[in-house]
Structure 1
Amino acid sequence: MTELALKDLADSPLDGDWEYALRIPNSPFGPGIVRAHVRAVLTRYQAASTVLDDAELVASELVTNSLSCTRDPVAVRLVRTDGRLRLSVWDSSPYPPQPRCPGAGKGAGPELDAESGRGLWLLRACADEWGHYLLVNGRRNGGGKEVWAEWCAPGA
């Protein structure tokens, strides 16, 4: 049965559209599990190594931020459509992401000795585009926000 499933996956087109989602409990294991999930999916679809590495880093940062601002589970989605890869992370917090270090909103990096505050700086540095939006009650567990990053990812 496993051989059949692997053969069916091997015969699927690598340049087709796809979507994967993962719900993560609020746990210190979350960022590592998300990194492994993103790496497995993007490796399977033969994503370019720079896109794979950047998406893995961004996913880990976004999940870490989400888990630190809420006690609830978070959700991660990877979607490839029209030659673009979108990674989004949902959490129940209604507060938009804010830079923690002075100058981070102006393109400057975080303080060298800071223990945190690098998430948005890394997001800006790694993704082709990024953004966030608030979700209204009734969607995705009654609100919260979704932070997303996109890459032009032909062949990914």
Structure 2
Amino acid sequence: MIQDSVSSGTRPGQHFRNFSVRLSPTPRGARLARLLAVEQLRFWGVPVDPACQIVAELAANAVTHGRVPGRDFRLTLYVIADTLRIEVTDTAGDRPPRPPQPGPDTESESGRGLLLVEALADRWGWAPELRPRKTVWAEVALPPDAARHHTS
């Protein structure tokens, strides 16, 4: 299920835009999340970077650490005024996201997704949802021109 909507706020030049899609909790689903996000952001006229990398990391985490067989994960993108909010909801609410602690033994190539999200996003966090879900989110400030751009 894909949803896309655009509505004008009460002030001129202010828009609310959102996009939401449910995807299979597989590597293919994670890749599709990134591809769909890139296309949606381009359609809205919003900068693709660093959002596409954030989507890729959050979707990969949902597939790797939040996967429950038979339960999809959801990608949601919002543009509200001058902020892009990225949300990935999975069905492993009992497993909160934990960024790895840096140390001398941290030589693994995996497990650094949340550190990248933290570095690329202006803000990020997570929230429990209706059992058994949780949502990991990240926000990116948009340039003034991108926040006002509207594609019909």
TM-score by length of 2: 0.76
4+ runs deviating over 4 angstroms: none
Match among 96, 111, 115 for residue 109 of structure 2: 115
Letter in 2 for 1:26: P
Percentage of identical aligned residues: 29
TM-score by length of 1: 0.75
Instruction: Indicate the structure with greater strand content.
Output: 2
| 1:67 and 1:73 in contact (8 A); partners too | no
Letter in 2 for 1:96: P
Output aligned runs, 1:1-156, within 5 Å.
16-48=15-47, 52-69=48-65, 70-71=67-68, 72-94=71-93, 95-100=95-100, 102-103=101-102, 111=106, 113-137=107-131, 143-153=132-142, 154=144, 155-156=146-147
When the two structures are aligned, how many residues end up with a matched partner?
130
* Partner Cα separation in structure 2 for residue 129 and residue 31 of structure 1: 22
RMSD: 2.3
| 2:73 and 2:89 in contact (8 A); partners too | yes
Q: Any gaps of 5 or more consecutive residues in structure 1?
A: 1-8, 105-109, 138-142
Task: Spell out, residue by residue over 1:39-63, the C-alpha distance to the aligned partner (whole angstroms, 9 max, x if none).
Answer: 1111112223xxx121111111111
Instruction: Indicate the structure with greater helix content.
Output: 1
| 1:14 and 1:46 in contact (8 A); partners too | no
